Amino acid sequence: MSKRKMLMVDHIPVPIGDERNLLEVIRKANIELPTFCYHSEMSIYGACRLCLVEIEGRGLQPACSTLPEEGLVISTNTQQIRAMRRMILELMLANHQGDCPTCVKGGDCQLQQLAHRMGVAKIRFSRVKERLRIDASSPAIIHDPNKCILCGDCVRTCNEIQGVGAIDFAYSGSEFAVAPCFGKNMAQGECVACGQCSLVCPTGALYARPSINEVWAALHDPAKTVVAQIDPAVRIALGEDFNLAAGTIATGQIVSALRRMGFDFVYDTAFAADLMTIELGEEFLERLEKGERLPIITSCCPAWVTFAEQHYPEYLDNLSTCRSPHQMLGALVKNKVTPAKGVKPEDIVVVSIMPCIAKKGEVLRPEFSTGYGRDVDYVLTTLGLSLMIKEAGLNFNQLGQDSFDMPFGFITGAGVIHGNSGGVTEAVARYVSEKVSEKRSDYYVYSNMRNGAELREIKVTLGKNKLNLAVASGLGSVKKLIKKMKKGQAHYDFIEVKACPGGCINGGGQPPGKEKNIKAKRSAGLYDNDKMLQLHKSRENPYIADLYERFLEKPGSQIARKLLHTHYQSKKRVYFDMNNLARQESKQAKLELSICFGTSCLVKGAQGIYSGINQYLNENKSLDKVQINTTFCYEKCSRGPVIRIGEEVIEACTLEIALEEIGRQLK
């Protein structure tokens, strides 16, 4: 037996395993070193300095950015360290806006907790920073810089895990801050509202825009019929806020709580997920048959849809046209299937209870107002619902079980697992396999779709089709996947995308998980829920069959297209006027030429063409004959680079084609 490498932590020998830093070794020894800026899945930043430990012979060192070495003698609790930790916390608290009782994070704030834990009794320093404006421009996320302690967790999540980079550190010295680009606000920048930043924010500097007051107002308005719908991922996470273990299925209590609070009807979004499974499955089969617009990419995640619209307009045709399930249900309730006789659609208020922050922005999209007002009026996050239950004084753990209202309360397991990354793929596979084989089967567990990796490829044979599927969660993984596709290194038929790592179970609106392996536990909760249900396949849902028979005719029918499907717009990063960006005025110009410098064209080589044309004109001494403009997007991203020469619009242009055309037109 080889001798294990050891080091000493507070006089106790601790073996060194494959930990990447001292901090993890020390935590393994059951010492909870305080940190703000350390997250095991992100890069090491070393900014908060709270994990300082004393290493014999080296003095104070940050444990997070020190490698574990054999023989180190470490102290984690000395007079000097205690004084240092308090000082750091006092300095943070000095400029922190300490309105704890009214802060959204009050009671659940890491700064508050650590200040208590480290015995900070008094703050010796006074505030030097001026109060900054709260950025409430985004419909989904509010940024309050006065609460920020500059730990950078949000910046690294947004950059490293999500690959979005909507926020970063900006300015310097006392003005150092987390901010969107160019001093813009959250709504103008590139935020897709996934809310992962709010999950890691230790304080109340980034949080979901609350809708609690609006929902209470609707509940207290006797003229309104208030309808709630609950996303699958809410039922296995809400309990965490009431001391239940992660993954505990609390559906019955949640329905019970909603009724007690005054919701008139309570529906299950998993029903709409069943519906979406069928619509998506049919759409997939149709595209497979025609061999067009493949891979089909799921569209149930609004943060992903926004991301695609901003960064990958060339793939918008590949997106499924299915609305996200809660939007399907909202449209049905507002347009077709009013909850009870005599209820007028204009008096209905639909409240979606979601693990998601992006859905707060999604409901405002104009295409989701098909009937009376918005199809979904308000979105409450899981945390929002938890706060309402607490405000109402309901003793959640003592609440009895209650069941959903029909018809939108009957679900199959396929609808429930939608909350997991890979769940949509599995639900669709269950549907498609029976559809193509035209045989009923009792088989329903596709375990190869369930491993927890954020990027995975699955090969399946459904009927005569050998299919390549991909599942990606976390937008950073999605970027990797698309890069691979663009390079031609991978071909898929079906791609499931969820913006949050692990899927909706880890959505930005969920309680910030305190247990270890929280994603796996929540995910297992949903798969357990599937097992406990009698039906596992969306097509077996009798209420869905009935819905098609009575209203929707068949998947993809005209009425289904109106209520269950949607469309997308390219929203490239146009937050400034790029039109006259590069106008080279030329009075003798005979020919006007516009080159698209949109992201897509740029990536496809517009820049090289631009330089090439300039060089050509220069060499031919005809610079003054041509006026070159650069423009921002011809909305033809999939066929870029796009160049307009005179009246001629050339798609998929190369330098040779452009020069030939210029030569021809200049003659």
Partner 1 sequence: MENARTFEKVCAILNEYNHNYYQLIPILEAVQEEYRYLPEEVMAFIAISLGISPANVFGVASFYSHFTFTPKGKYVIKVCDGTACHVKKSADIIKAMEEQLELQTGQRTTGDMLFTIETVSCLGACGLAPAIVINDEIVYGLLTPEKAVKLIKDIQAKEVPGSNEPGEH
Q: How far is the CB of 330 from partner 1 (least distance, A)?
A: 33
Comparison of 410 and 610: residue with beta carbon closer to partner 1:
610
74-106 burial code (b ≥16 CB/10 A, e <16): bbbeeeebeebbbebbbebbebbbbebeebbbe
- CB 597 to partner 1: min, Å: 7
Q: Decide the pairing of beta strands 206-208 and 225-230.
A: unpaired
Closest CB to partner 1 among 83 and 581?
A: 581
Q: What does the block give as tokens for 341?
A: 């006789």
Report the alpha-carbon distance of residue 286 to residue 428 in Å, rounded.
14
Find the distance separating the first CA and the last CA of the chain, reported in whole Å.
85
Q: What angle do CA 151, 153, 157 make, to 5 degrees?
A: 160
Q: Least distance (Å) from partner 1 to the CB of residue 165?
A: 2
**Does a cis peptide bond (omega within 30 degrees of 0) precede residue 641?**
yes
CB of 583 to partner 1, least distance (A): 7
Half-sphere exposure of 149 (CA within 13 A, CB side): 28
197 CB burial (10 A radius; 0-12, 13-18, 19+): buried
**Least distance to partner 1 from the beta carbon of 491, Å?**
24
Q: Which is nearer to partner 1, 438 or 577 (CB)?
A: 577
Contact residues: partner 1, CB under 8 A: 159, 164-172, 179-183, 189-190, 573, 576, 578, 581-585, 597, 599, 602-603, 607, 610-611, 614, 630
Pick the closer one to partner 1 by CB: 442 or 585: 585
Q: Kindly give, in sequence order, each residue whose CB lies less than 8 Å from that of residue 647, ignoring residues fewer than 6 positions away.
A: none
User: Cβ 574 to partner 1, closest distance in Å?
Assistant: 10
| Minimum distance, C-beta of residue 582 to partner 1, in the bound complex (Å) | 5
The minimum distance between CB 163 and partner 1, in angstroms, equals 9
Nearer to partner 1, 42 or 582 (CB): 582
- Provide, rounded to whole angstroms, the least separation between the CB of residue 576 and partner 1: 5
In the complex with partner 1, the residue whose CB is nearer, 345 or 605, is: 605
Answer for the pair 50, 211: CB distance below 8 angstroms, yes or no: no
Which residue number, 180 or 204, has a Cβ lying nearer to partner 1? Answer: 180
Alpha carbons 464 and 447: distance in angstroms, whole number: 21
Single out the residue of 173, 180, 353 nearest to residue 263, CA to CA.
353
- What are the CA-CA distances from residue 447 to residues 3, 329, 391, 546, 634 (Å)? 39, 29, 41, 31, 44
Written as six digits, the tokens of 124 are 């010796």
Q: What are phi and psi of 262, to 5 degrees?
A: 110, 10
When the beta carbons of 284 and 597 are compared against partner 1, the nearer one is 597
Smallest distance from partner 1 to CB 162, Å? 11
Tokens 């015995």 locate to 119
Closest CA to 619 of 584, 662, 583, 665: 662
Which residue, 585 or 647, has its beta carbon nearer to partner 1? Answer: 585
Q: Which is nearer to partner 1, 158 or 199 (CB)?
A: 158
